[in-house]
Structure 1
Amino acid sequence: MPRRNHDRKANRKTNGSRESRPDSLMGGARIESGPSGWSDEEFTTRTVPGNRATKTYRCPGCDHEIRPGVSHVVAWPAAELGGPDNRRHWHSGCWSGRATRGLTRRWS
């Protein structure tokens, strides 16, 4: 068995459960700049893993569908709570390239 060079107990809270990770794979949110034309506004984002993606959405970056089972990013203006009317589901690649392209769908 390979030897581990780190202390496993250092990654646990005192009650024995794992610490919550700040990344979005564990449900955490990030603050990022918005898409082209909205880059002065900050957006809260979360990554939705493929096994948690159960609906079909339309990506505002490319105007193609995001099918169930496809990992993607959910973004909403950071100044708002991110209710269903404000959240937008993006392909991960479309969100990564948001600074160099405009929206293909109207953000309404």
Structure 2
Amino acid sequence: MPRSNRPRRRAGGGHAEPERDIESVLMGNRRTESRRGQAFSVQPISAAKAVKAYSCPGCGGAIEAGVAHLVVWRMDGVLGDAADLAARRHWHEHCWRTA
């Protein structure tokens, strides 16, 4: 009998993967971190999605295209969310952890 390439259903008729809400799919693993009494939004960028080169504010070195890194912005700035997002910076993961 030929082999079937169609995925088989799990016992109980469940999905192969747990359902995720649309926000987590679009935003990835974005998280909130607190540094020196200020809240920051931290968004990991995978190597596949890193298509431009940036300068890391932690070490001053280059973050080349194709290198996984973090995008970080303040969440509690006095000028509002739009200004905070516009002031976001790209960091090496190590530089952000040690900042």
Q: Please state if 1:55 is matched with 2:52.
A: yes
Provide the rounded CA distance (Å) in 1 between the counterparts of 2:50 and 2:32.
Answer: 21
1:76 aligns with 2:78: no
Aligned to 1:11: 18
TM-score (norm 1): 0.63
In the alignment, which residue of structure 1 is the partner of 2:37?
A: 40
Q: Could you report, residue by residue, the CA deviation over 1:47-103 in whole angstroms, capped at 9, with x for unpaired residues?
A: 00001001110001100000000000000001234433x1000001111111xxxxx
User: Relative contact order, CA 8 A, sep 6+: which one is greater?
Assistant: 1
Q: Which runs of 5+ in 2 are unaligned?
A: 1-12
Residue identity opposite 1:47 in structure 2:
P
Gaps of at least 5 residues in structure 1 are 1-6, 13-18, 99-108
Percentage identity across aligned positions? 33
Q: Is the 8 A contact 2:43 2:70 kept in 1?
A: yes
Q: In terms of Rg, which structure is larger?
A: 2
Taking structure 2 as the reference length, what is the TM-score of the superposition?
Answer: 0.68
Q: Distance in 2 between matches of 1:24 and 1:65?
A: 28
**Map of 1:96 onto structure 2:** 97
CA 1:42–1:58: 2 relative to 1, 3 Å: same
1:25-36 correspondence runs (5 A): 27-34=28-35
Q: Evaluate the alpha carbon distance shift between residue 33 and residue 23 of structure 1 in structure 2; reply closer, same or farther with a 3 A threshold.
A: farther
Which letter does structure 1 place at the counterpart of 2:44? T
| Alpha-carbon distance between aligned partners in 2 of 1:92 and 1:24, rounded to the nearest angstrom | 21
